[in-house]
Copies of this chain bind each other. A is one copy, B any other.
Amino acid sequence: MRVPYERMHAEFVRVLEKYGFDPQRAQLCATLFAQTSLDGVYTHGLNRFPRFISNIQSGIVHVDAQPECVGKIGVIERWDGHQGVGNLTAYTCMARAIELAHENTIGVVALKNNNHWMRPGAYGLMAAQQDCIGILWTNTTPNMPPWGGKEAKLGNNPVVIAMPNGDSPLLLDVAMSLFSYGKMEMSVLQGKQLPFEGGFDEEGNLTRDPAKILKSAQPLPIGYWKGSGLSLLLDLLAASLAGGCTTYEIGQKPQGETDLSQIFVAIDLKHFPDRAQIQARIEATLADLAATTPVHAGDLVRYPGAGMQKVRKDNLENGIPVDESVWNTVCAF
């Protein structure tokens, strides 16, 4: 089943207004959710929407809370998300980082007390669309064991790096677990095994079964001990710069995942005197990459973000593929 973008957007707006959003904020929040599915990131668009609504119902997400600048340390602005709407707050903070970058080449916003920001790639794209490099990451609730340990103590702490490249920006959007929770949930919905061993079952055996990993909360970090270390440092960096909660503190909260610490960095390439040469270097690298002999004949070796435009175009023309049960759930809200 495929649903037109406008139809999905309108449905999100309807539900958000029903749950207390003012019209303007409902529009932007719905756009962020619908564009996520439009771009093919199905895990964090429509599929995530019911949980977002349930987080409003349970009082984790405060619909009317507005992010606030609470401090300035050199070029770093500290903001407090006041447990508001995760994607709207992230949007505001990325926009502010870009504004600061326009002024000073680099802008850094360190945000505390936000909720789940949904698809972080959206904020990376905002930067790239304004000729900025975007670098951002979040911590999460403990959902990944440290290397050599049995309990989930680390977050999988997604990282985004985006770079401008005309109509085809580079967009890396990766959790520090080999598979994101969204990807594993999607695989369960589709009845699929993971393509590689992605974590441990409750008996401590490596498995490709996403349901077993979701149950154990023991996904594999990327590069084993390396992703474990990266996750820890990303968490402590985010919490330190933001003056916000660490993954450990988030794990102590009775209400579940909230009060996340998130970092938004923008670097404005327009300030660089060799802007044209930077673009030429990016293009030469991407051309070299595209010329790589593929492991499987006929495949293309692609850069992160390369496939997005095509998916977006297809979904705009033919509708967004949806899981019918999730779509019906949203329509019934």
CB contacts (< 8 Å) of A319 on chain B: these are none
A254: CB under 8 A from chain B?
A: no
What separation, in Å, do the CA atoms of A163 and B230 have in the docked complex? 12
- A292-B246 contact in complex given A174-B229, A223-B222, C-beta closer than 8 Å: no
A45 interface residue, CB < 8 Å from B?
no
A127 nearest CB across to chain B (Å): 13
Residues of B within 8 A of A73 (CB): 105, 271-273
Cβ of A296 under 8 Å from chain B:
yes
Which B residues are in CB contact (< 8 Å) with A146? Answer: 289, 292, 301
With beta carbons under 8 angstroms apart, the residue of B76, B147, B235, B295 that contacts A149 is: B295
Q: How far, in angstroms, from A248 to B174 measured CA to CA in the complex?
A: 23
Taking the nearest CB of chain B, how far is it from the CB of A303, in angstroms? 6
Whether A243 is near chain B, meaning CB under 8 Å from some CB there, is yes
- Scan A281-317; emit 1 where CB is below 8 A from any B CB, else 0: 1101100110011111001111110000000000000
In the assembled complex, A151 has its CB within 8 A of some CB on chain B: yes
Q: Are B163 and A249 in contact, CB atoms less than 8 angstroms apart?
A: no
A172 and B234 alpha carbons, distance in the complex (Å): 11
Instruction: Indicate whether A151 sits within 8 Å of B74 (C-beta atoms), given known contacts A232-B303, A281-B236, A285-B236.
Output: no
Please pick, from B222, B282, B303, the residue contacting A227 in the complex, using a CB distance under 8 A: B222
Interface centre among A148, A149, A241, A300 (most CB of B within 10 A): A149
On whether the beta carbons of A235 and B292 are closer than 8 Å, the reply is no
| Residue A109 interfacial (CB < 8 Å) | no
Q: What is the CA–CA distance of A284 and B73 in the complex, to the nearest angstrom? A: 24
Q: A237 to nearest B CB, angstroms?
A: 7
Among B223, B237, B288, which residue has its beta carbon within 8 angstroms of that of A133? Answer: B237
Contact, CB under 8 Å: B174 / A304: no
Q: Are B232 and A304 in contact (CB under 8 A)?
A: yes
Interface residue from B151, B196, B240, B269 paired with A163 (Cβ < 8 Å): B240
**B292/A240 in contact, CB under 8 A:** no
User: Is A122 positioned at the interface, with any CB of B under 8 Å from its CB?
Assistant: no
Q: Please tell me which one of the listed residues B248, B277, B302 contacts residue A284 in the complex, with CB atoms under 8 A apart.
A: B248
**Can you identify 11 A-B contacts, CB atoms within 8 angstroms?**
A74-B271, A148-B295, A151-B292, A161-B233, A163-B233, A170-B232, A174-B226, A174-B230, A243-B278, A248-B285, A249-B284
**Which 9 pairs of residues, A with B, have the shortest CB-CB distance?**
A74-B105, A222-B223, A149-B292, A229-B304, A149-B301, A161-B233, A150-B293, A172-B229, A174-B226
